[in-house]
Chains A and B, each alone.
Chain A
């Protein structure tokens, strides 16, 4: 499951490409992909969609949602959060391994020693299907697992973004334009007249 590589000149070129790519598209591309996964999985599971609407309607009636929904309000919708995490688990937006440096003194992983200067990665699409972490039905989109199993453990095994990127994502600078793009990407909107 672990892939590793030593840093060569080519790698550095690749890293700078990756970085540029990341800066230009990390906002809209991965958000669009995640939103598509979310709607695809939720809409294909009518029971989940109905639970989700119920939660949103209940919050709306209780006056827990502003006219423009805030991040803090969205975080309080537990079932919605479970659906979003489950969508990211089943269809992560990042398709390749995200490389991390081993410590300078090297590290032993699964019986094999990797010297300092090596980068290692696992692929989210594989890691998110680890039955020891997520349960036996890893292929199934089932938000309920986030209430039944150790959510903290499962959350720590979601391999979506680097820690540093998680922080960047907290900054809302590119959020608006990335959202507009994402909504258009995510929903192939069809006009009623074309139906």
Chain B
């Protein structure tokens, strides 16, 4: 996860489709979440 997150942050610009909208979730043993919609755009390598 550490590696993937950095990889994503380096390669893409990410914008929320619905800024401020709360995530939907239900709690079982794990908290299962949904509703995170984003636009992603490839960043140019500087």
Contact = CB atoms under 8 A, between A and B. Distances in A.
A21 B30 CA distance: 10
A172 B20 CA distance: 34
Given A30-B30, A93-B30, A189 B3 contact: no
Interface size class of B (residues with CB under 8 A): 20 to 34
Interface string B2-46: 111111111000111101100100011111111111111000001
Contacts of B14: 39, 43, 187
Contact of B10 (A60, A70, A71): A60
Nearest to A80: B6
Pick from B15, B29, B36, B46 the residue with the most CB of A within 10 Å. B29
Interface stretch (A50-58, A111-119, A128-136): A50-58
Contacts of B2: 71, 74-75, 84
A95 B10 CA distance: 31
A64 to B, nearest CB: 11
Contacts, number: 113
Contact of B27 (A38, A71, A96): A96
B1 A35 contact: yes
Given A65-B10, A187-B38, A70 B3 contact: yes
B4 A94 contact: no
A34 B19 CA distance: 19
Interface stretch (A2-10, A138-146, A151-159, A178-186): A178-186
15 contacts: A36-B23, A60-B10, A65-B6, A68-B7, A70-B3, A73-B3, A73-B6, A75-B2, A84-B5, A95-B31, A179-B1, A186-B36, A187-B14, A187-B36, A188-B34
Given A30-B30, A183-B8, A187-B14, 14 more contacts: A18-B29, A21-B29, A22-B29, A56-B9, A57-B10, A80-B9, A94-B31, A95-B27, A95-B28, A179-B4, A182-B4, A183-B4, A188-B38, A189-B40
Interface of B: 1-10, 14-17, 19-20, 23, 27-40, 46
